[in-house]
Structure 1
Amino acid sequence: MRRSPVIVLSALLLLPPAPAQARAANVVVLDWNVRGETADMKAIAKVIRDSGANVVTLQEVHRRPGADQVRQLADELGWDLTDNAHFGAGDDVGPCDDPQPGKAGNAILSSYKIVERVTIPLTKFATCPVNRSLAGVKLDLGEGAQLRVFTTHLSPGLSQTSVGRREAQAAKVLDYFGNRSPLVLTGDFNAQPADPLSKRFRNAGWLDAGGKHANKPTHGSARIDYVYTRGMTTTSGSVLATTLSDHRPIVMRMVR
């Protein structure tokens, strides 16, 4: 028997609505080791604005009494210190055997609201060398989309002892993440792409976005600063030319 149009329409109206899907969010990540004490946060903010970055990850950031670089940068960018910034302390400011007031570490700032924060210590040295940490946030990208972003700064040096420290720190970072996705992990890893440490990250399923989109030196003639991703689509990237630090910033454009 042929159904009437009215009955068919009524049946369609009774069907449950399709589940809402999170919209695609455009994320522009800028990563930069800003060289701590000498950092000119006003000039650094201009580089960030000109790049179009809406997520900023920094290493060698200082928060000292009367000289809070996280607050300075947030103010320059017009981002709220509470909602849009996270500082993950690594160690005291100054030489590790002669600490000065304040803390040094990594920072994440974003025009997106930060809804979760975490700081994971990677070392527990009594004095020297400088202690290292991993800072992370969960960002609310809007309309159901979220993204976790992390940044770190591993120990420098080419001696066997230094390489061993760095490898141990990297192992803690990899163990912390497991197989979770989507993620963005940035930082100064003090390792070049051909080094075993860099290969460990790639073998663990991390995409070296710089290797594909911005394969240029970030410190002198070496590429030791990285933007690693999982579950993200990176569309383009670049290493910016600037002398504001001894490191050059990396910019990656991606879609969540």
Structure 2
Amino acid sequence: MTTIQRPVGELIRQWRERRRISQLDLSISAEISTRHLSFVETGRANPSRDMVLRLGEHLDVPLRERNQLLLAAGFAPAYRESRLDDPGLAVARAAVRRVLAGHEPYPAVVVDRYWNLVDSNESIAVLTEGVAPELLAAPANVLRIALHPEGMAPRVLNLGEWRADLLGRLRRQVETTADPGLAELLAEIRAYPCDQPETGNPERGEIFVPLRVRHGEAELSFFSTIATFGHPVEITLSELAIESFYPADDTTGEYLRQLAASRGAAEG
């Protein structure tokens, strides 16, 4: 099959429209004339490599897609992509492992752009217990693990609102990246059954959407934070995210600490 490369001007215009930025606003922030930007978008002018990079930065285009802009303009990619086990990423890998280990006894995961599981700490087992083995087989996808009827979903007490939050995050990611693979994942996850209303309950006075999950006879409650690498110039690092789960109440915290102590005693 022959892949047709779309003109760089058309791609820039689509990214600008996706970001809901006018030509005037973009030209001011990128410090180019509106006339020249218009000529670039219509194909009447060819942008320089520096201009493509500048426009990509001001449009907040992901690094992977910035390379596509450069290729469409006839330039070599600027951002390299490495395997996570590449020696050049050793320092980053070590930092990720420190974060995961330091978060014990609470669960934490590392995911890539497509929500595939890259790494996790031991405490993630409190969330994945009972998940079908095929969902945990590599490449395991944390959204499938979370929302598939053979995954965590039957144990999630507030499945509707937690599902709505996850789908909202994925939908915003699709809008940000325009990635067809993520759009396919969104369509798949949306099709999973859910017998609860997919809305939150602000009357409870909560400050975040919690994850309420059953573990054995216990009912646990979590909130999470998401960390990314600051100012990455490498595609793999730019697409990694560390999601760390924290106990949303004292009961959950004590339960996890006791669970970790029991695990340590058994291993010792």
Superposition TM-score tier, normalisation by shorter sequence: under 0.3
Using the size of structure 2 for normalisation, the TM-score is: 0.24
Q: Give the number of the structure with larger relative contact order, counting CA–CA contacts within 8 Å between residues 6 or more apart.
A: 1
- Normalised by the length of structure 1, the TM-score is 0.25
Indicate the structure with greater strand content: 1
